[in-house]
Amino acid sequence: MYAINVDNVTKFFSVINEDKTASGFTAVSSVSLKIETGKIISLLGPSGCGKTTFLEMLGGLQAPTEGSVYVDGKLVLETPPSIDSTKKEKRAYKRKYRFISPLANSMWRNRPKHDIAMMFQDYAVFPWMTVFQNVIFALKLRNVPKRERRERALHQLKKVGLDNALSKYPAQLSGGMKQRLALARALAVQPKVILMDEPFAAVDILTRERLQDELLKLIDETDITIVLVTHDISEAVYLSDEIVVFSANPGTIRNKFTLDIKRPRRRNSSEALEYEERIQSLLKYETKHLGDYAI
Amino acid sequence: MVATIKGGIILIRNKTLAFFRINIVHLLRLPFVRKARNRDILSIETPEQLCCEVQEFHCGAIKRILREITSFLKGAILNTFTPAFLVILVPLLLLWELLPRFGIVNYALIPSLSTVLLTFWEMLAQRQFLHDIGDSMVKFFAGLGLAIVVAVPLGVITGWNVAIRKRILPLFQMLSPIPPPAWVPITIIFFGVGFPMQTFLIFLGSFYPILFNTFGAVKDTEPRYLASARSFGASEFTLILRVYIPSALGAIIMSIRSGVSAGLIMLVIAEMYGGSSGIGFVLNEARSFFNVPRMMVGMMTLGFIGWFLVEILKYAESKLVVWKGGR
Ligand SMILES: Nc1ncnc2c1ncn2[C@@H]1O[C@H](COP(=O)(O)OP(=O)(O)O)[C@@H](O)[C@H]1O
Ligand SMILES: [Mg+2]
């Protein structure tokens, strides 16, 4: 059983230029990918190659232009009618989502469409809620019974070491603490899949390595599937079971590596360095035509 | 009586001391515990603080409200009349007193400060002026309240939903360029002269700033927060209540601030054009009697009311948007 099944997905953005002409941009082009339950997958690639777009399609924050994404066997978002669809289909789609966006869960009842949690580079924890309220709120949105919420929130916050900052607001936390909060919030709801978009990119290197270790410890012995977008090769090699390298223009899968390095892993072990070198040379080739482009 | 709350958490010196069962006499009646239950957490620094809070509760609600009001007044006055400002203000007031007195400016046109204050005192003693102020305030709050009740929900809904926005907002965008004073003649024809007409004009003045600012703030809600709440399962209703409104709350309060100033303008216009009481009426009356000190009292009263309301809104913002402060 695959946790995530991406079937020939394409994402096309129509762009209105300054001179009012319309043009298009293919951010992701015919990508197919199957991800097994319980694995950690990294998506690696130069910036602008559509990693975020791809992840947002997995999370149901953007609908693919073509193809479909299944999480846990369920279709994530209905693909909008394409140019070749009949008028009737187009009209039906338009009418269906006239008042409520296709991304919305429902009007009144809290219920996620899919059992996923997301983490963003800029944390996206709610600044108007305290640390504790942030986690409680996420649990409430999952309809966890009231008495269970506190216990689970407190338990998870203790695990990430935030139990002495419960009544602080995110503005009072450091970047690392905010990311811990986001991690605790994602884990507390016990999702099947966690999607992370460069989660550790905004913290310093020492905190980053600690957070990586904590992440591995926290998801140990769970069957949570993790899709991790990163531009940090050593992070990808240290964490993942599989690395998917993307190439830009249009964004497609360039190559896949399965890492059979035993866990617990050591940073900078010879095996790891070997993988890093291989990926590095692949990405160098990948970005050569872009000039001195930062990865 | 021993009360039990389940699942409470007491933090002492930020360490979790006890949770899931606390027994304290009258615990449930303590307001800070009730507050804590709402916020899911009760944070106190020391055991002594618990005693303090208990004592504070016993000192009664009225006393606490008074304390809150005192702290507001103190903050408002001290924040405005800082030494830095007084250095400018006092010489200006002195000039106002001395220039007319020594005949440097025409005393009949600009009466000195002391004359104005004396007139103010006389007017207060006559009571009629107090009635006028009260009258104006009733109209003003009726109009402003109506504007808040209509414009804030409308702004939230149009900010939230594109389809509703496209259907509703253009109407207001077309109507809003009509200057509110231009509505005076037709309003008088519709409502006659009096309370409904004045309230409607005040409503009209404060409605658009509140609507458009609320709409803008709600529309500009950080999409990351929406995505994050949606991925956890938020319904649209929950999004409005727990994401759109909290993130826009500061701006909504500030939009009411611009509503206050626009409303005051309309208050004066409404009372000047049709009315037999109120501050605007006093101003008009003073003009026909060429009573400049009386005019100045009316103007200063309006200025003070506006300043005071804005200070109240600032205080409300500081109490409601506690999370904005940095480290
Ligand atoms: N809403 C959008 N409209 C037009 N172009 C977009 C939009 N979102 C992303 N893109 C384009 O798609 C490409 C991929 O973006 P993104 O997925 O953010 O890349 P990455 O995360 O790999 O850096 C970029 O070139 C970007 O300019
Ligand atoms: Mg990105």
Residue-level pLDDT, tens digit, chain A, 295 residues: 788 999 999 999 888 888 878 788 888 988 999 999 989 999 998 888 889 999 999 998 888 999 999 998 889 888 888 888 888 988 988 888 888 888 888 888 888 888 899 998 888 899 999 899 999 999 999 999 988 998 899 999 988 888 888 888 899 888 889 999 999 999 999 999 999 999 888 888 888 898 899 899 888 888 899 999 998 888 999 999 999 998 888 888 888 888 888 888 888 888 888 888 888 888 777 666 554 444 4
B103: pLDDT strictly greater than 50: yes
CA proximity to B272, closest of B262, B284, B263: B284
Q: Tens digit of pLDDT for each residue in B45-91?
A: 455 555 555 555 555 678 778 888 898 999 899 988 999 999 999 99
Task: Quickly list H helices, A1-105.
Answer: 51-59, 87-96
Q: Cα separation of B255 and B210, whole Å?
A: 5
CA proximity to A178, closest of A201, A155, A151: A201
> Do B19 and A154 lie within an 8 Å CB cutoff?
yes
CA proximity to A200, closest of A122, A99, A282: A122
CA proximity to A72, closest of A252, A185, A188, A194: A194
Residue A28 Cα to ligand 1 midpoint, Å, equals 9
Classify residue B75 by burial, with Cβ atoms within 10 Å: 0-12, 13-18, 19+: middle
Cβ burial B213-234 (10 Å sphere, 16+ → b, else e): bbbebbbebeebbbbbbbbbbb
pTM for the whole thing?
A: 0.84
> Do A117 and B232 lie within an 8 Å CB cutoff?
yes
Residue A257 Cα to ligand 2 midpoint, Å, equals 21
> Do B231 and A112 lie within an 8 Å CB cutoff?
yes
From chain A, the residues in CB contact with B9 under 8 A are 150, 154, 166
Q: Cα separation of A272 and A265, whole Å?
A: 9
HSE-up (13 A, CA, CB side) for residue A290 = 17
How far separated are the first and last CA of chain A, in Å rounded? 33
A179 lines ligand 1 (CB under 6 A): no
Q: Are B251 and B216 in contact (CB under 8 A)?
A: yes
A28 lines ligand 1 (CB under 6 A): no
Give the pLDDT score at A163. 84
Q: Are A225 and A240 in contact (CB under 8 A)?
A: no
Print the SS3 string covering chain B.
CEEEEEEEEEEECCEEEEEEEEEEECHHHCHHHHHHHHCCCEEECCHHHHHHHHHHHHCCHHHHHHHHHHHHHHHHHHHHCCHHHHHHHHHHHHHHHHHHHCCCCCCCCCCCHHHHHHHHHHHHHCCHHHHHHHHHHHHHHHHHHHHHHHHHHHHHHHHHCHHHHHHHHHHHHHHCCCCHHHHHHHHHHHHCCCHHHHHHHHHHHHHHHHHHHHHHHHHCCCHHHHHHHHHHCCCHHHHHHHHHHHHHHHHHHHHHHHHHHHHHHHHHHHHHHCCCCCHHHHHHHHHHCCCHHHHHHHHHHHHHHHHHHHHHHHHHHHHHCHHHCCC
Q: ipTM above 0.95?
A: no
A126 vs B: CB within 8 A: yes
Q: Which residues contact B158 (CB under 8 A, 6 or more apart)?
A: B164, B165, B168, B169, B215, B218, B219
A48 lines ligand 1 (CB under 6 A): yes
pLDDT band at B19 (very low <50, low <70, confident <90, very high): very low
The backbone torsions φ and ψ at residue A40, rounded to the nearest 5 degrees and listed phi first, read -110, 120
CA proximity to B133, closest of B12, B289, B308, B291: B308
CB atoms within 10 A of CB A222: 11
Instruction: Kindly identify which residue of chain B lies nearest to residue A109, measuring between CA atoms.
Output: B235
Q: Cα separation of B243 and B238, whole Å?
A: 8
> Do A124 and B163 lie within an 8 Å CB cutoff?
no
| A96 bridge partner residues | none
